[in-house]
Amino acid sequence: MRMGVISAAIVPACAGTLIAILCSGSGPVAAQQMQGCEDHEHLVRRLAAKFHEERAEVGENQYGWLIELFESANGETWTLVATRPGGPACVFGVGGKWQTVTPVIGNPM
């Protein structure tokens, strides 16, 4: 029973710390935090207007969702967006300093 009491006290404290860490950033990436889902075209226009991001990569996941990477021309910010078939576009990742790397052919290890 003691474990339940400890867990009940620790979980909220850890959640508060995590939220503080995630919200304490500065610079263009911190300013970019976008949450939730909205119409795809509206989201694309907002990324272009607010962050100067354009679609750089596109693919489809195993569930048929459209997965798009938007990035600014200078690479300072990027946004990862998923759109359900017939549904809204949802931001599920933002960051900065995106780098394109050359694929490694064969087994690099």
54 part of a folded domain = yes
102 part of a folded domain = no
Interatomic CA distance for residues 68 and 76, integer angstroms:
17
pLDDT number for residue 66: 97
Distance of CA 101 to the CA centre of its chain: 20
pLDDT number for residue 100: 80
The candidate with the shortest Cα–Cα distance to 83, out of 47, 32, 29, 31, is 47
Domain count, the chain: 1
pLDDT number for residue 30: 45
Interatomic CA distance for residues 14 and 36, integer angstroms:
23
8 part of a folded domain = no
pLDDT number for residue 108: 66
3 part of a folded domain = no
71 part of a folded domain = yes
| Mean pLDDT split into 10-residue runs, the chain, 109 residues | 40 36 43 71 95 96 96 92 94 89 79
pLDDT number for residue 31: 44
pLDDT number for residue 75: 85
pLDDT number for residue 107: 77
3-state helix/strand/coil string of 12-32: HHHHHHHHHHHHCCCCHHHHC
pLDDT number for residue 56: 94
Query: Which pTM value belongs to this model?
Result: 0.63
Range of the structural domain that residue 80 is part of:
27-95
50 part of a folded domain = yes
6 part of a folded domain = no
